[in-house]
Structure 1
Amino acid sequence: MDRTTSPTEPASADCVRDHPEMQYLALMRRIWTQGTRQVDRTGVGTRSIFGHSLRFDLAGGAMPLLTTKRVFWKTATREMLWFLTGETNIRPLCEQGVQIWTDWPLARFRAETGSDISREAFAQRIVEDADFAVRWGDLGPVYGKQWVDWPTFVPAGEGLFRRGEGIDQISQVVNSLRENPTSRRHIVEGWNVAELDQMALPPCHKTYQFQVAYGRLNCALYQRSCDVALGLPFNLWAGALLQRMIAQQTDLQQGEFVWMGGDVHLYENQGDLVEEQLTRLPQGQPRLEIIRKPESIFAYRIDDFVVHDYKPLGKLTAPVAV
């Protein structure tokens, strides 16, 4: 656990020093007080550190679900289930009221058409107009497409190639964990160099590696770029959720979820959120119950997941840098 402290740390934090969420708050404090100021792709500006890790024991149903602000875990879960379909269009998300990917195609639509359409109206049109969704709702071969349909190419004669059968990395990992649990090759990779330019946003949480030790499934997630205030709460939940589902499918117990970040940052316009969250202390120990074991990793539904003992403090918001 990161034991970093600063003079601004609330004295009463001593009573919850061992709570796993304190790692997150220590990281946030370190970035905000010590991070290097940088000009970033979005033009907003960040405070950044390079290289950090967090560790969470998932035994007993524990999950890295932040309590110092409300995290909409069902939204993050719907996104993970969407990834597992291999879908790249935002329409299925918009149909469920999930707008976390809407800003990227919306920005493209506004730039190319000159329209000042609102986010809500754009999402509604995506849902109601299938042709419009096809034209404007696709994100390119992001995340799930790489996870379950990594492209391959086979010779087609005369120096030409045609598209071959895609590689389902998720199924391969589930099968390899069952058949060869001691392997060091249980990896799901999203960083397809050949297709990065076709993606609305290249994968941030890019590499998942799984390991079995003493009948427990461990997972290490490497994230190349991380918005700690808005993105990381979702990333921690979703990564641990994928680990929980794979463990259930392979009849393994829960081990550690290890998160590793490369460029770990806060945006300069997130100051109000950061300052408020750093005054708060963790509340309780959220637990996830998966109430059904589907026939495959791809058959989970949102109703299969129930969270217990989640009593977060109030919602905190900040602008999303696109």
Structure 2
Amino acid sequence: MASAAIPLSDGGKPHPEQQYLDLMKTIWETGSERQDRTGVGTRSICGAVLRFDLADGAMPLITTKRVYWKTATRELLWFLTGETNIRPLVLQGVKIWNEWPHANYVRQTGEDIALDDFVARIADDEAFAARWGDLGPVYGKQWVDWPTYRYRPDGLYEKGEGINQVAQLIESLRTSPGSRRHIIEGWNVAELDRMALPPCHKTYQFHVAGEGESARLNCLLYQRSCDVALGLPFNLWSAALLTRMIAQQVGMQPGELVWMGGDVHLYLNHAHLIEEQLSRAPQGQPRLEIVRHPETIFDYAIEDFVVHDYVPLAPIKAPVAV
């Protein structure tokens, strides 16, 4: 396996992206090979940690292949709406969730429709999208409308008002920054079987270091299952972006993103991607500018984000395991 020399950042330290490449190399060379839910097969390790400093606009945006950060950003903004249907994403040209409802449609109806034709129907037919484009109560639903139930005098339960975890988090960071309960949780055990895909990036915990104008907002993300080649570049960007947005909303400086993975794996059919990416060296220091301060965390738009100094190497395509 070809391996690039370890590049140094301007400060003489290893480039922040090198830890991602090192993780990829470790999994590919030492991971346990096993079968998985998709039937593709993986090499997997248990437990990994990556750390990224977000000061001065720095972002963990992978440069050894092009990462479509606007696509990841549109997905994050979609999560914050609480929407669970792919149609808003499809209408923006975001394709990352299409395979799951397509596979469900083929399984349920027996119609051998091509993925592109299915997605076109989602875009063109609102009623069809309502029936076949929904993913169940995935990420955004749990983030901003976690279901609650009330016990009635007749012994039955009725649905109560949903819990907006994101709004509660913002409030708790403002009023009780030293709390150890700044958490957004996606793993709703009672609803896992209704989700097209249970949450992979499941638990976000925020931590405030310092006080006043110097207060820094850190984020620890625990990801139970991680496709390092295709998923992790998106996950790192999104978690760092969410941290930057929340920091702006609560008047703090972005601190550190700490990413922790549980089942950390590479798919066996991604060999060409892995070999090619490990032969490349990170370059540059991508930085994010948020050009507007929206009134709330729910009011950001794609136009609010500008990335500077991102000159990635060419994209590397690989299939998504569904």
The residue aligned with 1:51 is: 47
Change (3 A) 1:156 1:294: same
Gaps of 5+ in 1: 1-6
- For 1:92, which of 88, 91, 110 is the aligned residue? 88
Within the alignment, does 1:63 sit opposite 2:56 as a pair?
no
Alpha-carbon displacement from aligned partner over 1:153-198 (angstroms, at most 9, x marks no partner): 0122311010000000000000000000000000000000000000
What CA distance in whole angstroms lies between the structure 2 residues aligned with 1:113 and 1:235?
Answer: 33
- For 1:83, which of 67, 79, 88 is the aligned residue? 79
Structure 1 runs, 4 residues or longer, greater than 6 Å off: none
Secondary structure in 2 aligned to 1:42? coil
Secondary structure in 1 aligned to 2:152? strand
Secondary structure in 2 aligned to 1:140? coil
Alpha-carbon displacement from aligned partner over 1:3-30 (angstroms, at most 9, x marks no partner): xxxx8533x3254661000000000000
By how many angstroms is 1:116 displaced? 2.1
* Residue correspondence of structure 1 range 272-287 to structure 2 within 5 A: 272-287=272-287
User: How many pairs are equivalent?
Assistant: 315
* Residue correspondence of structure 1 range 143-162 to structure 2 within 5 A: 143-162=139-158
Within the alignment, does 1:265 sit opposite 2:265 as a pair?
yes
By how many angstroms is 1:122 displaced? 1.0
What CA distance in whole angstroms lies between the structure 2 residues aligned with 1:123 and 1:246?
Answer: 33
Within the alignment, does 1:124 sit opposite 2:120 as a pair?
yes
Is contact 2:145-2:164 (8 Å) kept?
A: yes
The residue aligned with 1:142 is: 138
Within the alignment, does 1:13 sit opposite 2:23 as a pair?
no
1:188 partner letter: I
What CA distance in whole angstroms lies between the structure 1 residues aligned with 2:150 and 2:109?
Answer: 38
Instruction: Please give the root-mean-square deviation of Cα atoms over the aligned residues, in Å.
Output: 1.0
The residue aligned with 1:291 is: 291
Alpha-carbon displacement from aligned partner over 1:237-288 (angstroms, at most 9, x marks no partner): 0000000000000000010000000000000000000000000000100000
What CA distance in whole angstroms lies between the structure 2 residues aligned with 1:232 and 1:280?
Answer: 17
The share of aligned pairs that are identical, in percent, is 68
Gaps of 5+ in 2: none
What CA distance in whole angstroms lies between the structure 2 residues aligned with 1:218 and 1:138?
Answer: 33
What CA distance in whole angstroms lies between the structure 1 residues aligned with 2:59 and 2:153?
Answer: 52
The residue aligned with 1:36 is: 32
The residue aligned with 1:165 is: 161
- For 1:104, which of 95, 100, 119 is the aligned residue? 100
Secondary structure in 2 aligned to 1:263? strand
Is contact 2:3-2:280 (8 Å) kept?
A: no
By how many angstroms is 1:228 displaced? 0.1
What CA distance in whole angstroms lies between the structure 1 residues aligned with 2:22 and 2:3?
Answer: 9
What CA distance in whole angstroms lies between the structure 2 residues aligned with 1:217 and 1:19?
Answer: 22
By how many angstroms is 1:231 displaced? 0.2
Normalised to the residue count of structure 2, the TM-score between the two structures is: 0.96
